[in-house]
Amino acid sequence: MPYDDSVSPTPHRRPLLVAAALAAVCLSAAGCGAGGDSGEAQARPRQGSSATSAVPPSVPPSRSAPAPDKTSASPPSASPSKTTGGRASGPLSGKTVVIDPGHNPNNHLHTREISRQVDIGTTHKECDTTGTSTNSGYAEAQFTLDVSHRLRALLQEQGAKVILTYDNDRPYGPCVDERARIGNNAEADAVVSVHADGSAVGNRGFHVILPALVRGGAADTSKIVDPSRDLGTRIAGLFVRATGSAPSNYIGSNTGLDTRSDLGGLNLSTVPKVFIECGNMRDPKDAALLTSAGWRQKAAQGIADGITSYFNG
């Protein structure tokens, strides 16, 4: 969850549409095909986005937010290296994807270090933050690393070279500017920063954050705005299909897309990059999904499908 999303959101009611409508719009408008800044902690909703995306049926209600399910759909063991290649002959062979797991599970032990101000191109902000958690204590940083491992495995299976900005291999961070540099230095074909939001109860659903046009200081997003919008639109449409979750009912006017100019991870990127807030950890119904290993596998699949669709054009 990006840290500067700290303003209390204003909930909006979401229309209930059938899945068929979603698929049709996804294919025709979003081009989906077949199938917080990373260290910036509380989520501030921003209403409206010029992009459009399909609106899916509502997520089936859940009774409570259980402890994380570790018994099914377990991710592969973390690789000792952050950089790993896929199958030489896979459909994504030759593509480099950087996955940026939001926050770090140990950030709370290094508050001084993560509070250090860094240049995000337009202003200065904290190096990183702790992120949010469910009411039962399941941390956003645990969620993001788990989904990132699952996503890595799916992309590697298709032949992509996958780089994680960190893999539980450092005491805190990395800072948001370093996260951006990792993608830039890798000359990544796509970068996805994985997060979960921390908003009010009743605020539900996912949203994808796109870079705004920013020019100033170290920031110039002019070359990545359009491809990032394409990447984000495809991820949003296929995330719906894979998970059954609906776009956010409190950010992005039910499109599942939000454009921001205040996130260093986007402002400093020179390669196509988006953030995805997979759900609201503070809502019991969304939390029940986010703490489910089976649902996290679906979330990883939806993101992978969106990335593949983006590469396939």
pLDDT tens digit sequence for 219-255: 999 999 999 999 999 999 999 999 999 999 999 988 9
* Half-sphere exposure in the Cβ direction for 266 (13 Å, CA): 32
pLDDT, tens digit (0-9, with 9 covering 90-100), for 27-37 = 333 333 333 36
Specify the pLDDT at position 37. 65
Residue 283, pLDDT > 60, answer: yes
What is the spatial distance between Cα 240 and Cα 247, in angstroms, rounded to a whole number?
A: 8
* Half-sphere exposure in the Cβ direction for 153 (13 Å, CA): 17
Catalytically annotated residue among 40, 126, 178, 277: 277
CB 86 within 8 A of CB 155: yes
Specify the pLDDT at position 12. 36
What phi and psi values does residue 106 have, to the nearest 5 degrees?
A: -100, 5
Specify the pLDDT at position 51. 35
Average pLDDT over residues 113-119: 97
Specify the pLDDT at position 1. 59
CB atoms within 10 A of CB 48: 11
Q: What is the DSSP letter of 110?
A: -
Specify the pLDDT at position 307. 98
Query: Which of 6-10, 153-157, 178-182 has the least mean pLDDT?
Result: 6-10
Residue 263, pLDDT > 80, answer: yes
Residue 77, pLDDT > 90, answer: no
Per-residue tokens: 260: 């921001």
Residue 66, pLDDT > 50, answer: no
State the chain's mean pLDDT as an integer: 81
Query: Which of 15-24, 120-129, 205-214, 262-271 has the least mean pLDDT?
Result: 15-24
Query: What percent of the chain has pLDDT above 90?
Result: 69
Query: What percent of the chain has pLDDT above 70?
Result: 74
Q: Tell which wins on pLDDT, 51 or 274.
A: 274
Residue 277 annotated among the catalytic residues of the structure: yes
Strands in 60-200 per DSSP E: 83-84, 96-101, 117-119, 124-126, 161-164, 190-197
Average pLDDT over residues 285-300: 98
Residue 264, pLDDT > 90, answer: yes
Instruction: Domains for the chain: give ranges and CATH numbers.
Output: 19-60+77-312 (3.40.630.40)
What is the spatial distance between Cα 159 and Cα 95, in angstroms, rounded to a whole number?
A: 8
